[in-house]
Structure 1
Amino acid sequence: MTTHRQPRRLAFAAASLLSLASTTALAQSAPHFPASFHEQDIPTNGTTIHVRVGGSGPAVVLLHGYGDTGDMWVPLANALARDHTVIVPDLRGMGLSARADSGFEKANEANDIVGVMDALGAARADVVAHDIGNMVGYALAARHGDRVTKLVLMDAPVPGIGPWEDILKNPLLWHFRFGGPDMERLVAGRERIYLDRFWNDFSAKPARFTEADRTHYAALYAGPGRMHAGFLQFAAFDQDAIDNRAWIATHGKLTMPVLAIGGEKSFGATMAAVTRAGAVDVQERVIADAGHWLMEEQPDATVKAIRDYLDAPVVTTRVRFGPVALSIEQVDRIATTGAGTGTPGMAGIRTVLLSGDPAKPGSYTLEIRVPAHTTIAPHTHRDDRMATVVSGTWYFGYGADTSTTTMRALGAGGFYTEPGKVPHFAATRDEAAVVRITGTGPSDTTFVSAATPR
């Protein structure tokens, strides 16, 4: 009996020593966050996310990509911690977060981050993202827009946004389709060889991705379940594309300010062009003499670009109201049109555009002239709008079910609001009505449920 136990004890002791040595090596080679930072594990959305937190002030969330972990953000965390609360998670299943076998759709990972923010008391935050972090950051900004003040996306596309199908054809992105049990077996024990391919191919000068960083990340990705999680991040891209296309079709583009950063030797100015397919207010920055690994290749220039953007007041690229003063006679002489952006698009309703353009970023005012006996089914608009009844009686109500909500009769001078994404409906009865609506574009109209305009 003793002879059988002894090898087990020796094996256990050897494994413990190896684990301790590996942990010590990681600690020695790891990038160092400021001493004021602490680490914690936050249960959220059916998993546990490892997070580094430090600094004080408005919150900023930093989302890493593939080939890195949250440790990539050390230079930026140092620059932001003096006046921001910096929150740096490892994405689901990666780095030091809990192992995971599902939930890698980016809309779901966005919920991971919402849970982290809730646990840390961050009602709103700027979000800075790179690579796969872009995809999580975009999903977070789209589905939880009230939680994101500014968004920075760095040198990677977002599934389903812009020329996604063309991007997939680039042979450099072969790894998007590389995964599964056999691929995991091929890479097992060869994680450094696999990752070196990305660090070398996607760098302007591979030597800038240092040996210390390569050793550190390769050891993390060699951990149990880590390559598996990385492959699942890519495997979810098809569903991510479906989710993002459906979201834009229903809700439109992002409206918060977005900075798109590309490495000169990688995405470059294309990063901003692609981002504009999914956001209306995009600023562009190209980091000279850098490839994909911006924080490793050009940390000073990248940190400055991000810091300058986050420090700047929120001044969007939207067109504001121009000077317009019209008499009622002049308004009556403006040509009317039929369906248009931000209107119900129904036959018989005529539209007069008084200022701006609801199809574009910026403020607008339009007038709709609605015939008698017209019903507008429940619908929403993406922007917040205000309206005044000019003439006639306008019957208006909130909700998605006309059978359970009473409409109010609003005569000339009546005022109401159409909060963004809140269902509402309207009608005329025995007389026509004229209503003026003001909002901030781009606007849209989405009929809810199975309702269709009549």
Structure 2
Amino acid sequence: MSVPTQLRRFALTGAALAALAGTAASAADVPTDFPNTFRTEEIATNGTILHVRVGGAGPAVVMLHGYGETGDMWAPLAANLARNHTVIVPDLRGMGLSARADAGFEKVNQAEDIVGVMDTLHAPRADIVAHDIGNMVAFAVASRHGERVTKLVLMDAPVPGVGPWEDILKNPLLWHFRFGGPDMERLVAGRERIYLDRFWNEFSANPANFPEPARVHYAQLYAAPGRMHAGFRQFAAFDQDAIDNRAWLSAHGKLLMPVLAVGGAASFGPAMAAVMQAGAVDVQERVIAGSGHWLMEEQPAATAAAIESFLNERPGAAEREHLRQTTLTLEQTQAMPQSGAGAGTSGVGAIRTVLLSGDPAKPGPYVLEIHVPPNTTIAPHTHRDDRSATVISGTWYFGYGSNESDAFVKSLRAGGLYTEPGGVAHFAFTRAEGAVVRLSGVGPSDTSPVPATASR
């Protein structure tokens, strides 16, 4: 199902909305107050001040909210995670109780806001859990500061420039992406509740599950001076965000840390994982039944359970970490299906890949073959993991370095062996004869192009 089709499932009929508007709000309340064991701090970072809630002890987890809410949305999950995590929950730039801000809403810039908070709180690495606009900031942190992010949870919203972004923009339900500016702010001023109710109603599986006390709470926060301006500016930055993300992915490749993509069954659903597979090599999918976009309000228990299970899974617990028992004859390997470029391959379209064991996109050992046609060049690049390779057939020309013209190239035939140490630039090519090369490593693997250096 296409992403636009998934998004259409947000919509309710006009008659249904009218009926709901006439009914009393649900008596159920979603708490927005954090446990009294949490403290709040006003943290100066990257030219602004963020309001941050902090509690618990253990590995750090940073939680980023979206539009129509503030960091208060995470209160129930934060209380659970604080049992074995240090939980860090900021209000995004200009939103909630953070300082007013007129500019700086590009997500690459807001990533620096969050890194500054982590630095102040002495959190060199953290899991990040995000929703809606928070997804976009989280992706910017994970891409530009990958060494700081251990795991990433993204919930029910796209990331500008990643996957089917242009198709998503065409959906009429997302008209608010282009709604903003001084006149729009004047139109909404004093009517913040009316404006926000549209999102809470249309993007829910059942609007009654976004409780009245939470609506009152968020509407009051968004009615404060400068808050709707900050919300509109988050959307206005999308064009630049898409440019920034496409450029980063082109230069560096997909994210390497494990990613959990969570979609509401009546909203993005499995399309959330499909979007993220365009931006990350290790993506797990969760679809929350009975929920639309507002997962923490509509299905808090199921959503929290999915997130906690993912965050608490530690390396070594999964069977995929181990090399499975495999015996294949040459005839069997030659008969296995071939695919195009994948994780850990050079990305050259003409090369065909056979995955013999494991999965280079995920943690654990893997073995793959590349079938390279004649007169094919693989430009200088690096891989994250250490790999070893054996030439199975043909003639293979291999060298280390970031410039082919300056490097020593060795001609290798069947039985030839070489290594690809992690982070070391190397390149290869064939001439009149093609080659088959078998590679093994321990994932997750990736491929990062290396700009050629000038010849001396």
TM-score under structure 2 length normalisation: 0.75
Task: Choose which of 445, 448, 451 in structure 1 pairs with 2:450.
Answer: 448
* Map of 1:438 onto structure 2: 440
Report the residue type matching 2:123 in the other structure. Answer: A
Distance 1:205 1:92, change over 3 A: same
Q: Tell which deviates more after alignment, 405-414 or 304-313.
A: 405-414
Residue equivalent to 1:243: 244
Residue type at the aligned position of 2:451:
S
Secondary structure at the aligned position of 2:197 is classed as: helix
2:387 paired residue number: 386
Q: Is the alpha carbon distance of 1:416 and 1:94 closer, same or farther for their aligned partners in structure 2, counting shifts above 3 Å? A: same
CA contact (8 A) 1:334 1:352 kept: no
State the distance in 2 between where 1:155 and 1:367 align.
Answer: 36
Alignment of 1:140-159 (within 5 A): 140-159=141-160
Q: Per the alignment, do residues 242 and 55 of structure 1 end up closer, same or farther by CA in structure 2, a change over 3 Å counting?
A: same
1:100 matched residue in structure 2: 101
Alignment partner, residue 300 of structure 2:
299
Query: What letter corresponds to residue 164 of structure 2 in structure 1?
Result: P
Aligned to 2:181: 180
- Contact kept in structure 2, 1:321 and 1:355, CA below 8 Å: no
Greater length-normalized contact order (CA 8 Å, ≥ 6 residues apart): 2
Are the structure 2 counterparts of residues 298 and 345 from structure 1 closer, same or farther at C-alpha, using a change threshold of 3 Å? closer
Q: Residues 297-345 of structure 1: CA distance to partner in whole angstroms, max 9, x if unpaired?
A: 2222222222222223346796964545799xx69x979x9x9763596
Which of 367, 387, 400 does residue 364 from structure 1 map onto?
A: 367
Q: Which among 389, 404, 418 is matched to residue 421 of structure 2?
A: 418
- Secondary structure of the 1:364 match is strand
> Aligned partners of 2:436 and 2:31: how far apart in 1?
66
The worse-fitting range, judged by mean Cα deviation, of 443-452 and 179-188 is 443-452
Change (3 A) 1:410 1:79: farther
| Corresponding residue number in structure 1 for 2:17 | none
% identical equivalent positions: 63
Residue type at the aligned position of 1:449: P
**Cross-structure match for 2:56:** 55
Given that 2:403 and 2:453 are in contact with CA atoms closer than 8 Å, whether structure 1 keeps it comes out as: no
Query: How do 1:193-204 residues align onto structure 2 when only pairs under 5 Å count?
Result: 193-204=194-205
Amino acid at match of 1:293: W
Question: 2:86 is matched with which residue?
Answer: 85
Q: Could you tell me how far apart the structure 2 residues matched to 1:107 and 1:45 are?
A: 12
Q: Distance in 1 between matches of 2:268 and 2:370?
A: 43
Shift of 1:250: 2.9
Distance 2:78 2:130 in 1: 13
Between the aligned partners of 1:88 and 1:118, the Cα distance in structure 2 is: 14
Taking the aligned partners of 1:95 and 1:135, their CA distance within structure 2 comes to 18
Cα distance in 2 between the residues matched to 1:275 and 1:245: 13
1:150-187 deviation line (CA, Å, top 9, x unaligned): 22111111112222222212221110110111111111
Match for residue 35 of structure 1? 36
Q: Would the aligned equivalents of 1:56 and 1:82 in 2 still touch at CA under 8 Å?
A: yes
Aligned to 1:286: 287
State the shift of 1:389 in Å.
8.2
2:63 aligned with 1:65: no
The one-letter code matched in structure 2 to 1:147 is R
Larger Rg computed on CA atoms: 1
Query: Structure 1: 5+ residue runs without aligned partners?
Result: 1-28
Q: After superposition, what is the alpha-carbon deviation per residue over 1:249-292, rounded to whole angstroms, capped at 9, x for unaligned?
A: 33332232222222222222322232223223222222222221
1:278 counterpart SS class? coil
Matched, 1:76 2:77: yes
- Cα deviations by residue, 1:399-435 (Å, 9 ceiling, x for unpaired): x5789x9979999999755324x5456899xxxx998
The change in CA–CA distance for 1:300 and 1:97 in structure 2 (over 3 A counts) is same
Equivalent residue pairs, number: 413
Q: Given residue 45 of structure 1, which amino acid in structure 2 is its aligned partner?
A: N
Is the 1:260–1:271 contact (alpha carbons within 8 Å) kept by the matching residues of 2? yes
* SS of equivalent to 1:54: strand
CA 30–261 in structure 1, closer or farther in 2 if over 3 Å, else same: closer
Q: How far 1:66 moved relative to its partner?
A: 0.2
- 1:326 to 1:272, Cα distance in 2 relative to 1, 3 A: closer
Q: Residues 305, 367 of structure 1: CA spacing in aligned structure 2 closer, same or farther, 3 A cutoff?
A: closer
When structure 1 is superposed on structure 2, of 199-208 and 436-445 the one drifting more is: 436-445
- For the residue of structure 2 that corresponds to 1:241, the secondary structure is helix
Structure 2 CA distance for aligned equivalents of residues 63 and 354 of structure 1: 37
The whole-number CA distance in structure 2 between the counterparts of 1:86 and 1:34 is 12
Deviation, structure 1 residue 242: 2.0
Bigger CA drift: 269-278 or 224-233?
269-278
CA gap of 1:276–1:319, structure 2 versus 1, over 3 A, is farther
The 1:68–1:406 alpha-carbon spacing in structure 2 relative to 1, beyond 3 Å, is same
Q: Is the 8 A contact 1:281 1:318 kept in 2?
A: no
Distance 1:130 1:105 in 2: 17
With over 3 angstroms needed to count, the CA separation of the structure-2 counterparts of 1:427 and 1:134, relative to structure 1, is closer
Native 8 Å contact 1:209 1:296 kept in 2 = yes
When residues 244 and 190 of structure 1 are mapped into structure 2, their CA distance, relative to the original with a 3 A threshold, is: same
Residue number in structure 2 paired with 1:123: 124
Instruction: Let me know the Cα RMSD of the aligned residues.
Output: 4.2
* Residue in 2 that maps onto 1:137: 138
CA distance in structure 2 between the aligned counterparts of 1:387 and 1:324, rounded to whole angstroms: 18
Q: Residue 85 of structure 1 aligns to which amino acid in structure 2?
A: T
Residue 30 of structure 1 deviates from its aligned partner by 8.1
Moved more, 313-322 or 154-163: 313-322
Q: What secondary structure is seen at the aligned counterpart in 2 of 1:308?
A: helix
Q: TM-score, normalised by structure 1?
A: 0.75
Which structure 2 residue ranges, 5 or more long, are not aligned?
Answer: 1-29
Query: Cα offset for 1:439?
Result: 2.9
SS of 1:93's equivalent in the other structure is coil
The alpha-carbon distance between structure 1 residues 157 and 318, as it changes in their structure 2 partners (threshold 3 A), is: farther
